[in-house]
Amino acid sequence: MGDSNYSKAYIQALIDELKTSKIYTDLQCAAQVDLAKPTLRLSELKKGVLNGLVNSGWDRKLRNAIYRFLQTNPKLQAPTPPPEHLKEPLVYLRKAQQSWEKRILKSLNSMCTELNIPLARKRPEKDQKEWAQKWTELGIDGPDVDFIWRTCNKYLSQIRPVYAPKDFLEVIIGLQNPNYHGSDTPGFYHLWGIVQVPLKVKDIDELRLQYSDMSINQCQSGIDDAQDIPSELFEQERVKLGKKVISANHGPLAQEFSKKGCPTSMRATLWCQILAIEVDEIDILYYEQLKTNVLQHELLVDSLLYKDVKLTATNDDQYFVFEDFLYQVLLPFSRDTHVLKHFDYNSASPPKSYIRGRLGMEEFAVNYPPNGVIPFHGFAMYGMYR
C-alpha cells in the first residue's frame, strides 16, 4: 500500500473493512497459536509471530483480502463527490436509470394487483413440512421442479416476465444526450450503431493493447486444445502451469492465468481464488438459513423464476437436464441479502416495497426481493454460465 495514489481515508476504509471481516479474527487466533509455541523467544516475539503467519499461508490470504477490496472499492477522488455522482456522473443517465427502475417496479405491482396476490407471504405450516420432507428425501439442495409445480399458486399460468432483455435494449436505444445534436444541424452527424450515446471509448489500438492476451498468436484454453489438435502441444503444459497457480493461492496470479482460459477441471478453483472465496462453516450455515427462508416464506419472484426456467432452460437441448438444479440455486439466491452490497458501487438501486398497511412510510420500507434483483426473461440462463 505504498502507492501515493491511495489517500489516507481510502487506506483507513480498507483497515476498517479488514477489522470487521472474518480474516481479522482468524489472524488473531493464528497469532495466539504462534505465541504459545515454547520455541519462541521473547526477544524475537514480533519476528517469530510474523514468520509463523507467513509460513502458515496467512500472508497470501491477507493479500487476497486486500486485492478483493481494491477490486470492489474504486479509489475516491478529492474532493469526494456525492454517492449518486460517484456511481453515475451523467445526469441524464441517472434519470434514465431511475425511470427504468420505476417501470420495473410498476410492472411487478400491476401484476400483483391484477392477480390479487401479495409480493410475499408466509407459507402454511403444512406446505413448509412438505417442502422440508421433499428436500430431505431427495438429498439435494432443493425440491424438484415437478414438486414445485404442485405447490406453486394457481395463478402461475398467468404469471408473466416483468421484462425481457429486448425491453432494456429499447430503453438504451432511446437514450439521447441533451447536449449533443444530431445530423439535423449542418456539420453534425449521427453516431454509428443503434446506441446513440456519445461516450468516450478506447480506439482500436488501445483495445488491442488491453486484450493482447487474446491475440491470435496467443494460445487459449478451450480453443487450441480442441480435439483436432494433439493435446500434448498445449493442454498438458497449460494444466501443469495451472496446478502451480492453484498451489500459489494468490488472486491476482489466478486472474492473469485465466486471461488465456481456464482448463475445465480447474475452473471452479481458479474462480474461487480470483473472487477470494473460501467456503467455511459460517458460509454453510448461512446457506442453510437461506433454505429455511425458502421453506418459511413464499415470494412472487419464486413464480417468476419457475416460469423463466420453464420458458428457457426446459426448451433448450443442452440445458433441460439442469432444470431442477437451476431452481434449487435461484431460490436461495433470491433471499441472499449479501447481493445488496453490489448496489454500493453500481448505478442501480434495489427495488423497495412497504409492509402491508404502511405504504409511503419509509421506516417500513424493505428491499424486495431480499437480494434486490427482480428476475427477467432469460435470467435463469445466467445460472448455467456461472
Sign, CA dihedral 169-170-171-172, equals positive
DSSP state string for 290-329? HHHHHHHEEEHHHHHHHHHHHHTGGG-TTTGGGHHHHHHH
CB count, 10 Å around CB of 194? Answer: 9
Residue keyed to cell 519462541: 40
Q: What does the alpha-carbon distance between residue 64 and residue 359 come to, in Å, rounded to a whole number?
A: 44
C-beta separation of 2 from 25 below 8 A? no
Whole-model pTM: value is 0.70
C-beta separation of 330 from 305 below 8 A? yes
Cell matching residue 346:
453500481
Question: 3-state DSSP call for residue 377?
Answer: coil
Q: What pLDDT is attached to residue 187?
A: 45
Cell matching residue 228:
483436432
What phi and psi values does residue 372 have, to the nearest 5 degrees? 80, 10
Cell matching residue 12:
483507513
Q: What does the alpha-carbon distance between residue 47 and residue 24 come to, in Å, rounded to a whole number?
A: 19
Alpha helices in the chain (DSSP H): 8-19, 22-35, 45-55, 58-72, 83-87, 91-115, 125-138, 145-151, 165-173, 204-210, 235-248, 251-258, 267-274, 281-296, 300-311, 323-334
3-state secondary structure 183-211: CCCCCCCCCCCCCCCCCCCCCHHHHHHHC
Question: 3-state DSSP call for residue 352?
Answer: strand
Q: What pLDDT is attached to residue 184?
A: 56
Q: What pLDDT is attached to residue 4?
A: 54
Cell matching residue 374:
427482480
Q: What pLDDT is attached to residue 243?
A: 92
Consecutive H or E run containing 120: strand 120-122
Tens-level pLDDT at each residue, the chain (386 residues) = 545 567 777 788 888 888 888 888 888 888 888 777 777 777 777 777 788 778 888 888 888 888 888 877 766 555 566 666 667 788 888 889 999 999 998 898 888 888 888 888 887 776 666 666 665 554 545 544 455 555 555 566 778 888 988 999 999 888 888 877 655 555 454 667 788 888 788 888 999 888 887 777 777 777 765 555 565 667 788 888 999 999 988 888 998 898 888 888 888 899 988 888 888 888 889 988 998 888 888 888 888 888 888 888 888 777 777 787 888 888 899 999 999 888 887 788 888 887 776 666 677 688 888 999 999 998 888 876 55
